[in-house]
Structure 1
Amino acid sequence: MKINFNLYYRFCSFLSILLLLPSCNSKEKIDSAKNNYSTWTSYLGGPDRNHFSTLSQITPENVGKLKLAWSYQAPDTGQMQMNPIIVDSILYGVTAALRVVALNASTGQEIWRFGDSLPLQLSTSRGVSFWGKDDDKRILFSKGSDLYALNALTGKPIATFGNRGKIDLRSGMPKSAKDKFVISNTPGTIFEDMIFMPLRLSEDVGSAPGNIMAFNVITGALEWVFHTIPHPGEEGYGTWEDPNSYKSELVGAANNWAGMAVDQEEAILYVPTGSAAPDFYGGKRKGSNLYANCLLALNARTGKRIWHFQFTHHDVWDRDPPAPPNLITVERGGKRIAAVAQVTKQGFVYVFDRKTGEPLFDIEEVPVPTTSTLEGEVVWATQPIPVKPKAFARYSTTLTEDNVSPYAENPDSLRQIITKSDKRMYAPPSLDPVLLLPGYDGAAEWGGAGADPKEGILYVNSNEMAWILQMKANDSTAPRLPFGEAVYHKYCVNCHQKDRQGLEVSGFPSLLGIQERLSKEAIESIISNGKGMMTGFPQISDAEKKGLLAFLLEQQDKFEITEGVPLSKPYPLPYKHGGYHKFLDKNGLPAISPPWGTLHAIDLNTGEYIWSIPFGETPMLKEKGFPITGSENYGGPLITKNGLLFIGATKDGYFRAFDKHTGKLLWEYELPAPAFATPAMYEVEGKQYIAVACGGEKLGTKKGNQIVAFALE
């Protein structure tokens, strides 16, 4: 008898996978289109993005008995912002170098790993998406500009999806976007047989347009496109003074990068959109700029607009919504209303009727400063501010000399900055400093808000970090620099500084001695693909890339370039953003008085706060006996029906459980590295777990590479 060794090998491989799989109770078999809050099969717990679970084995009374159940060490280290998903007792996540891992959700044992054969990218990913129908179960995951469909049991690409298992996310964009920076950090949203993909694009001149695109999960084909920069004949086209804005080489973005929510029953997709590009100077994109900085309600099957609301008109502060909205139910006058709530960088919560877009709390168009000192800039005269709830973060308008940190050793110089800076709300960017509070990263951030969806209670963590916003003139008379240094000044100097020492406290590392930390290939990958806060520059010429590498590696003397090869194009705007500078004291701590991080429970039925507390600690001050200061935090909370709120997120590296009704701390655990990510809750064979990714690295913290899970003994 002849043996077909190919079939035999495939059978044995599949059998070995089955042996690693945990047993699956029938109740754990899921329909990817529904969410009963007892599973965690999609990003942030479900398509409504509420971070909510009805699992009840862990209670406020026994949470103090939580122990580490298992940990998984990834093959690479660094930021892991991902929120795991759990399907049929398998946990799926993404490592710091964009490898997809499938783990036994009860033991943490690796079942399969995808990405080892691909060029590794040191980027960030917030997770994967799952789609399933009968025996066809798929994990959808993005790396660079590619979207992959993987077999959920084997990790192998689905050959019939697109081009042998992947599609290019730029396939729904104009040809001009072919070589532009287009990636996705956030998992796509699944509806029926479609996936809607968030996109991260450049924020400067030359950005791709931020089209909202739907792809077929089975074939990879493009299903529909919504133009966030409207084309001629489309509603909103007239909100851009330049009729050619939709095809301009200077203008772009208005993309969704933060993720979306979908109402499965009503087939409505809710899309928060980003700022128009270029970010901080709008002289080339005059107008209110629809549909940038909006919440869009689209027909999920066709992409047609149902309603929209714009949070910031003609944004020149990077005030785009940072997280998916929450689909909740609120009560008004005894009537239950399906609502959608959007948190913002400004610290506001906007609440709308989900079907009509009618605001459920009054929103006032408030006059703001209109005089810009930047030639060609025309700022918008009003901005929409909700009457309720009040902002969950402080504003720069409230800062006085008395608000300098009591722990600062250089208070006099900090008071001078507060006195001299423009602190008006929505003060136009200027050549003089503007004190931006909440800062660039916002009060709310990409971790988003958790919610008790049926009770209408929102839980949101907030940063209290002021930044300095300052523009600089584009000086074309500057002395000619060596080629590689000139490339550095064009693309890198704003963040990494002229001396290449960076701004570690603001998240921009020093590039001095980079050759001792990273290989030439890794540096080249970061230049093209980006890393963390940094967008990539795939559009730069080969000559520019070689020159930049030579400068960074301190090998300019060995670098020869043909006479007359110029920089690809001179910077076309009269002003540049002056870089990202946190307002810090001499010890690198926030220069304003605490709290520096907060956590809130807001009743969206009434618009009133239930509680607010400082969130996180500063170890160097705690050791000296000072009160809780709060700390910077990234990543969202997890809410349980029976009264718990779990959250990592803080710079101090703890994982904590609070009483969701009072804000009282019930339990904390020091993680192997800070968890700048949102946890996930699930159950396997009657045992409840909570898992979180601990990647660290951000905010100058130590690097980590673990996914950890907790359970009761």
Structure 2
Amino acid sequence: GTPNVWTIASGDNDLGLVYLPMGNSAVDYWGGDRSEAENTYSTAIVALDVETGAVRWHYQTVHYDVWDYDLGGQGTLVDFPTADGTVPAIIMPSKQAQFYILDRATGALLVNVEERPAPQGGVEPERLSPTQPFVTDFPNLLKPDLTEASMWGVTPIDQLWCRIQFQQASYDGVYTPPTVDRPWIQFPGYNGGVDWGGIAVDPEKNIMITNYNNMPNYNQLVPREEVDAMGVLPITDPNYDPDAGGGSHGSISPQAQSPYGIRVNAGWRVPFTGMLCKEPPYGGIAAIDLATRKVLWDRPFGSARKNGPFGIPSMLPIDIGTPNNGGGVVTASGLFFIAAATDDILRAIDIETGEEVWQVELPAGGQATPMTYEAGGKQIVVINAGGHDFMETPIGDYFIAYALP
């Protein structure tokens, strides 16, 4: 199907442009019936003229996306320092933890991008792109490829189970092609890298700050006849059964009208403990100096207090680095306010040092980006604590405001 925009658009009033972060073309993990236009605009940032609707420029961050690496965060408009002076730019974060920075008037790249050879094979060897774009002169938050030594467990038994799973899977680093004859490891998984919430920038200090995920998925394509035999149907079907296709290794999505369904073990979790196979951290937060293009700091983000084996909260205030979803906001005082992690805490972080200077527990999950405003002579930070089913945080219906001293 046609790529959509499921995240937030941004716009430049002076240029008359709106910037659309595009999703990948449905279905997510197979692309044999995609049109030329779908292959052009899938997983791309597209600049549209708001008066005419015409495409002014576009830039694709993943070629022939069969990994659900669609653009989940909004593009952030900045004045970007270059050797030739400051350029009005857009920073587009990605689930691959790369940051594509472009002139927002022309779409010209302001960072160097190298088309590197990508893994080949899988079920579509004739259609996969031979290369994928990697930014070479601006930091990324893509972590080293997984190895068997990266497998982790709360006991030797589940660590051994994870190591066996690793050996049984296809894995050739980022962009490992989808397979049907055996599982494949997708790292980063479809939650990023950088996903919903995007990045934030302090325009005075020229510092970019972002949270990110550091988790794999354990996937396998499933032949259509097997999917149909299990009764797996699209959620819009009147006979849809939410339990069809479930199992200890992840649930199956139908990928209707394609040769394959897809089984995804999101986060690659051990069925008998619920813990993740990969060693922590599972999420991080980092700051990058836009002028020097250097990482100022990069550390785990989120404590283990609400997570533990068998779904039992550990209540340990250890910064293990948890899965996270939702962005943050920067204040003029140099503080970054963010919740997002699975520990249900709203934090204030010094953007220059990474030091946490304040926190408060929320009554529900804070998988949302805070906002800030002035009222009555005080600066207010407000967040929607609504929870998140996929992130397994408590559900609520709260808008909570805090006054800065």
TM bucket (normalised to shorter chain) is 0.7 to 0.9
Match of residue 400 from structure 2: 708
Q: Is the 8 A contact 1:328 1:456 kept in 2?
A: no
Q: Is the 8 A contact 2:269 2:276 kept in 1?
A: yes
* Structure 2 residues without counterparts, runs of 5 or longer: none
Matched position secondary structure for 1:469: strand
Match of residue 498 from structure 1: 244
Match of residue 280 from structure 2: 594
- Kindly state the Cα deviation for residue 573 of structure 1 after the two structures are TM-superposed: 2.5
Distance 2:355 2:241 in 1: 39
2:263 partner amino acid: G
- Kindly state the Cα deviation for residue 339 of structure 1 after the two structures are TM-superposed: 1.1
Q: Is the 8 A contact 1:343 1:444 kept in 2?
A: yes
Match of residue 666 from structure 1: 357
Match of residue 198, structure 2, among 448, 453, 474: 448
In terms of mean alpha carbon deviation, does 453-462 or 294-303 score higher?
Answer: 453-462
Q: Is the 8 A contact 2:234 2:256 kept in 1?
A: no
Match of residue 227 from structure 1: none
Specify which structure has the bigger relative contact order, considering alpha-carbon pairs within 8 angstroms and separated by 6 or more residues. Answer: 1
In the alignment, does 2:323 pair up with 1:643? no
Distance 2:333 2:236 in 1: 54
Matched position secondary structure for 2:167: helix
Match of residue 149 from structure 2: 402
Matched position secondary structure for 1:704: coil
Identity %: 30
- Kindly state the Cα deviation for residue 604 of structure 1 after the two structures are TM-superposed: 2.6
2:259 partner amino acid: P
Q: Is the 8 A contact 1:327 1:453 kept in 2?
A: no
Map 1:31-430 to 2 at 5 A. Answer: 252-285=1-34, 289-333=39-83, 335-374=85-124, 378-394=127-143, 398-405=145-152, 407-408=154-155, 410-424=158-172, 425-430=174-179
Distance 2:353 2:211 in 1: 15
- Kindly state the Cα deviation for residue 627 of structure 1 after the two structures are TM-superposed: 4.3
- Kindly state the Cα deviation for residue 577 of structure 1 after the two structures are TM-superposed: 1.7
Give structure 1 regions of 4+ aligned residues with deviation exceeding 4 angstroms. Answer: 476-479, 485-497, 499-503, 620-627
Assess, with a 3 A threshold, how the Cα gap between structure 1 residues 463 and 496 changes in structure 2: closer, same or farther: farther
Map 1:624-639 to 2 at 5 A. Answer: 627-639=318-330
1:614 partner amino acid: P
Q: Is the 8 A contact 1:466 1:582 kept in 2?
A: yes
Q: Is the 8 A contact 2:193 2:214 kept in 1?
A: yes
Q: Is the 8 A contact 2:227 2:245 kept in 1?
A: no
- Kindly state the Cα deviation for residue 377 of structure 1 after the two structures are TM-superposed: 5.8
What CA deviation, in whole Å up to 9, does each residue of 1:46-95 have, x standing for no partner?
A: xxxxxxxxxxxxxxxxxxxxxxxxxxxxxxxxxxxxxxxxxxxxxxxxxx
In the alignment, does 2:354 pair up with 1:607? no
Matched position secondary structure for 2:19: strand
1:388 partner amino acid: D
Matched position secondary structure for 2:39: coil
TM-score with structure 2 setting the length:
0.88
Distance 1:421 1:408 in 2: 22
Match of residue 676 from structure 1: 367
Q: Is the 8 A contact 2:21 2:75 kept in 1?
A: yes
Distance 1:333 1:712 in 2: 38
**CA radius of gyration, larger in:** 1
Q: Structure 1 or 2: larger helix share?
A: 1
Assess, with a 3 A threshold, how the Cα gap between structure 1 residues 664 and 577 changes in structure 2: closer, same or farther: same
Distance 1:309 1:468 in 2: 29
Distance 2:279 2:165 in 1: 14
Distance 1:636 1:583 in 2: 24
TM-score with structure 1 setting the length:
0.51
- Kindly state the Cα deviation for residue 491 of structure 1 after the two structures are TM-superposed: 6.0
Distance 1:668 1:677 in 2: 16
